[in-house]
Structure 1
Amino acid sequence: MMIHKKSFYPWLLVAMLCVVGCLNYLDRMMITTMRSSIIAEIPMSEAQFGLLTSVFLWIYGFASPFAGYLADKFNRSKVIIGSLFIWSLVTWLTSQASNFEELLLARALMGISEACYIPAALALIVDYHPGNTKSTATGLHIGGVYIGQSLGFIGGWIAETHSWHYAFHIFGIIGVVYAIILIFLLKDKPVTLVSAGENNAAKSTVNIWDAFKSLFKNYAFNMVLFIWGLAGAVSWMVNGWLPTYYKEKFNLTQTEAGVYSTVYFFTAMLLGVILGGALADLWSKRNKNARILLPAIGFLIAVPGVVIASYTDLIWVTVIGFVLYAFTRPFIDANMMPILERIIDKRYLATGYGILNFCSCIIGGIGIYAAGALRDAQIDLSTVFQVAALTMIVCAVALFSLVPRNNPKV
């Protein structure tokens, strides 16, 4: 099709994948907003309901490196379409569940199928955006993911006005239909348009064990893995406990705490991830290390925001502090795949991101647990947030260590 040769197709691709990214997170997140509706029909303990999310996260994390390998070995667009179709079908099947075991199985299957999407999507985006637009394109796509996260409440609303079955039913059908549409629109970058270096990295030479060896022998990759894991822990600690902090610190209702911890927060995150990508691309025209430096600066700007927000007794100061964090923390999200592209063998780009996903899920889960353990030890959330601030300083220092010491602008 001629559409794939036009200059606007790389941006059309980003727009199409933004919708997929939104569905990816909406489908996985909305179950958390339906707790009362689901438990009223399918009796289960709090631990069992929590397990529905934990099983998804564990399987998603462990499947991610292998899912990334599929996108390196085979056609990225087909992996994306297949992932969307299968997880949407699983979403629809979730609507048919009538007991806890069926729900648990559905969540496990969703973890496997959704794991295939993000590594393939981000790798395909940088394939089409090899120059000074890759961070902007990545940031826009992650923005679609953030929108999906923020729209999770729709599931709870549909569950209250209709039924929780209907929510999974309708979004499952939407995803399946969209996957069919993408069969005709979403394509890998033609080989003739790929640079000579990328051309040499033929998919036929990709081997998963060689990929693991190549990646884990790479000092820069291991450092990025360390940074991404810590950044994930920070996100889980702050995002996961922020509603509770607002509710307890300022004696708010659950609804009020939800507004303060989501509306302002996710709006700032959306703006931050888009601007973080655009600024990195603009700066990279003068400094090739911009995509490393900007996230490091973002972490350092976020630190005082979190510290001040966790100390003050003024709610408006707390809001401003966490909004500052929400705005600059996502700079790393917009630039991680471009950083990865720079430091590793391009044949293993999606595999590398899949390993990052795995690390983020595991360490993120530990972060949530650690924050809960601190709470059980009568340590307040202000201290938890200060630990998160210290962790961001470590992330910034680690990022600065990746900048070459000799002639850093080239």
Structure 2
Amino acid sequence: MTTSHTDTTQLLGQRETVRYPNEQYAWYVVFVLFFVTILSQLDRQLPTLLVEEIRSEFSISDTQFSFLQGYAFALVYTLAGLPLGRLVDRKSRRNMIFFGLLFWSLMTFLAGFATSYTTLFLARMGVGVGEAVLAPAAYSLIADYFVPQRRGRALGIYYISIAIGSGASLVIGGALLALIPEQGMVFPGVGYLEAWRWVFLAAGVPGLLLSFLLFSVREPARQGSGANLIDDCALPTIRDVCVFLRHHCATFSRLLVYPSILAIIGYGSLAWAPVLFARKFGLQIAHSGILLGGLIAVAGVVGSLISGFVSDRWAAKGHSAARFRVTLCGQLLLFPTVSLWALMPSPTLALAMLFVAILGLAIAQTAAPAAIQEVTPNRMRGQLIALYLLLGGLLGIGLGPTLPALVTDYVFQDDNALPWSIALTAFPASVIGVWLTWSGQKPYAITQQSLISGKD
């Protein structure tokens, strides 16, 4: 027997005074999740640095590589995200992260032994399945470890791991490519493996070791609206979630879509940045990987910190739609720079422009999970975060790397036209992103107030 929307709404409207876990331990949990997420980004982003090596190995085009980097990961990542999001709302989140980490680390390791484009594609799909559980579970855990007034800061600190992981994948991969002999090295029992294969092998090992640290993380009590719904039969159904979204369509049509636009911009630019610097400026892939990795890490960390602290400060002052307003500020910083960096005449100017673009991207993107959770009942958080990730995966992780490749291969039909391909795909996406966040401010404030007053 399912719970009616009216009954569910009444339960979700209840407010209990709940004791949150010790804050010092809560920060320990954040940093455990922090390092797990760094590994997830490392394993996810590795192909970005290995474009030319993988293209040469399997004789594929830019578009085929973009499918490997994008949809091989994104399709399973997003499709697995929704059912896993429902499990996050009722099962041990710590245990789900543990098994996910083991699986995606193993798949990354096995990618180093791929014998064809198809087997590498399948390994990338495996990474997507394993990583699908991490974000819904991690965001839900952090929300239950911190009082609402400090939640934005905690999520901002946690979100830094994404920037560091993205940067580290390029720095570590670049360093490994520089250190490993070009002809490769011997793997016991297998023989010589090319340098790019050793990068995958090296990236898969740390996750297998770090997974056991998760047993030091305790599963917290579920807090906030709807936390009393401990029975599976009382868990909001998919229909309940759909009704809730329909009641607040003006808010969530913007709140769930704008991060996808950001993902299109981010993945579209960063997936091809190392190759652009090689094709346009003649930089070695290993060198450009180290430069770009450091830039992404620094800009991403600074942007995430700014986003978390500013959103908490504005929320504490009682500004309506405080966290969603932060996203608009980030979008306005991103808008004029993300289309121009690839067209700069020198690598120095391109790096400077890209730094500002990533700073704005990090400010806007970091605020998204906290903004979603602030207007979502507790027992729906896992499902809505999973929906947010589904849209971001299909549109961003999947389509982001593919759009510039399609323009390069089928419009310009010239590998050296990559800078224009990036610019022409980033500009319209950034315009849409600004409109979504600007027009969503008032609806968001209305939804926020209705949840606070229990009138949802």
Cα distance change on mapping 1:318 and 1:51 into 2, 3 Å:
closer
1:327 Cα deviation after fit: 1.1
Give the number of the structure whose residues are more often helix, by fraction. Answer: 1
1:69 paired with 2:86, answer yes
Contact 1:296–1:399 (Cα < 8 Å) also in 2: no
CA distance in 2, matches of 1:395, 1:314: 33
Aligned partner letter, 1:323: F
1:272 Cα deviation after fit: 0.5
**Which of 152, 159, 166 is matched with 1:135 structurally?**
152
1:350 Cα deviation after fit: 1.5
Cα distance change on mapping 1:284 and 1:385 into 2, 3 Å:
same
Where does the alignment leave 5 or more consecutive residues of structure 2 unmatched? 1-19, 186-192
1:308 Cα deviation after fit: 6.1
1:120 Cα deviation after fit: 0.8
The corresponding residue for 1:234 is 265
1:253 paired with 2:283, answer yes
The corresponding residue for 2:99 is 82
The corresponding residue for 1:201 is 229
1:342 paired with 2:371, answer no
1:328 paired with 2:328, answer no
1:19 Cα deviation after fit: 0.6
More displaced 10-residue stretch of structure 1: 280-289 or 239-248: 239-248
Cα distance change on mapping 1:169 and 1:400 into 2, 3 Å:
same
The equivalences for 1:208-219 within 5 A come to 209-210=238-239, 212-214=241-243, 216-217=245-246, 218-219=248-249
Residue aligned with 2:445, SS: coil
Cα distance change on mapping 1:178 and 1:385 into 2, 3 Å:
closer
Aligned partner letter, 1:85: L
CA distance in 1, matches of 2:402, 2:431: 18
1:17 paired with 2:50, answer no
Contact 1:211–1:348 (Cα < 8 Å) also in 2: no
Contact 1:246–1:261 (Cα < 8 Å) also in 2: no
The corresponding residue for 1:356 is 388
Contact 2:227–2:379 (Cα < 8 Å) also in 1: no
1:8 Cα deviation after fit: 0.4
Residue aligned with 1:304, SS: coil
1:172 Cα deviation after fit: 3.2
1:174 paired with 2:206, answer yes
1:386 paired with 2:427, answer yes
Cα distance change on mapping 1:209 and 1:186 into 2, 3 Å:
same
1:120 paired with 2:137, answer yes
CA distance in 2, matches of 1:306, 1:5: 41
1:103 Cα deviation after fit: 3.0
1:366 paired with 2:399, answer yes
CA distance in 2, matches of 1:280, 1:33: 34
Q: TM-score, normalised by structure 1?
A: 0.84
Contact 1:125–1:138 (Cα < 8 Å) also in 2: yes
Deviations 1:171-224 (A, max 9, x none): 4342122212312x1122135xx34x3432325222552354245423122321
Contact 2:165–2:297 (Cα < 8 Å) also in 1: no
The corresponding residue for 2:16 is none
**Which of 46, 55, 66 is matched with 1:30 structurally?**
46
Residue aligned with 2:227, SS: helix
Cα distance change on mapping 1:261 and 1:101 into 2, 3 Å:
closer
**Which of 273, 280, 293 is matched with 2:304 structurally?**
273
CA distance in 2, matches of 1:8, 1:37: 45
Cα distance change on mapping 1:373 and 1:308 into 2, 3 Å:
closer
The corresponding residue for 1:186 is 217
CA distance in 2, matches of 1:405, 1:90: 44
| Residues matched between the structures, number | 400
1:34 Cα deviation after fit: 4.2
The corresponding residue for 1:109 is 126
Aligned partner letter, 2:32: M
1:22 Cα deviation after fit: 0.7
Contact 1:297–1:396 (Cα < 8 Å) also in 2: no
Deviations 1:377-397 (A, max 9, x none): 348344444334423322332
RMSD in angstroms over aligned alpha carbons? 3.3
Cα distance change on mapping 1:44 and 1:311 into 2, 3 Å:
closer
Q: Identity over aligned residues, as a percent?
A: 20
Residue aligned with 1:8, SS: helix
